[in-house]
Amino acid sequence: MKMNIAIDGPSAAGKSTIAKILAKQLQYAHLDTGAMYRCVAYGAKLLGVDEHDEDALVKMIDALDIEFRGEGSVYIKGTDVSKEIRTNDISMSASKVSAFPKVRARLVEKQREIAKDKGYILDGRDIGTVVLPDAEIKIYMVASSVARAKRRYKEYLEKQIPAVYDEIYKDIEQRDYQDSHRAVSPLKKAEDAVEIDTSDMTIDEVVNRILSIIQSV
Ligand code: DC
């Protein structure tokens, strides 16, 4: 029987990488909920909507027609924005727009609708606590700020996105603060989540650890 798997944790802890691999191995679908907040931030920039105007942002969400197509690609109004939504600038803006309760409510509704038939691995900040509190498996993935900044820097270089290490480190710390101190659905470990510190673990080790958790259910 298919389940839903929630993977939460701070930025660059490895959630999306691990979720993609697990989804392939388990033949589950993967929903990167951070990409949805990134689309709101990028869409606002694209359409000239003020990122401080909560009502205007909510109104814009449906018009964006956010779509996930194969291999983790993300589309806004039929245009592939997979690369554009990954810049540092959009990361910071996504963290800001994600603090608006009405923006969250609309995206959470979409996420629940997508995952309603199970068989999904969702990664984000509030999956185990708010989006799917009944998820059968809940993982809370953490890593030191240095480990995360190094990973993000390497990822940017590989994807040929311009990056400065010190800026990435600073932004990670700032996003951690913003994401865990906002009033609505702050980043927080669900009581029944299993915490995994991936700082000194390889990708394979993390995948195997989660597979063993799944098998023990
Ligand atoms: O996972 P990410 O770095 O792509 O997420 C971008 C931002 O979106 C992050 O700073 C916080 C926000 N976010 C959120 O508030 N809730 C989620 N479920 C996923 C992301």
Instruction: Identify the CATH number of the domain in which residue 34 sits.
Output: 3.40.50.300
| Atom 14 of ligand 1, residue of closest alpha carbon | 125
- Token pair recorded at residue 162: 């311009």
Measured from the CB, is residue 38 less than 6 Å from ligand 1?
Answer: yes
CA-175 nearest atom, ligand 1: 10
Positive or negative torsion for Cα 57, 96, 113, 14: positive
Measured from the CB, is residue 148 less than 6 Å from ligand 1?
Answer: no
- Sheet of strand 194-197: strand arrangement: 29-32, 120-124, 4-8, 137-142, 194-197
pLDDT of residue 102: 97
pLDDT of residue 145: 96
Structure confidence by residue, pLDDT tens digits, 48-64? 999 999 999 999 999 99
| Atom 2 of ligand 1, residue of closest alpha carbon | 34
Query: pTM for this one?
Result: 0.94
* Identity of the residue numbered 207: V
Measured from the CB, is residue 179 less than 6 Å from ligand 1?
Answer: yes
* Identity of the residue numbered 85: I
Structure confidence by residue, pLDDT tens digits, 96-136? 999 999 999 999 999 999 999 999 999 999 999 999 999 99
Q: Which domain holds residue 159?
A: 5-215
> Comparing 136 with 2, which gets the higher pLDDT?
136
Measured from the CB, is residue 125 less than 6 Å from ligand 1?
Answer: yes
Matching residue, tokens 């890593």: 143
- Look at residue 194 and tell me whether its pLDDT is greater than 90: yes
Report the domain count for the chain: 1
pLDDT of residue 214: 95
- Look at residue 217 and tell me whether its pLDDT is greater than 90: no
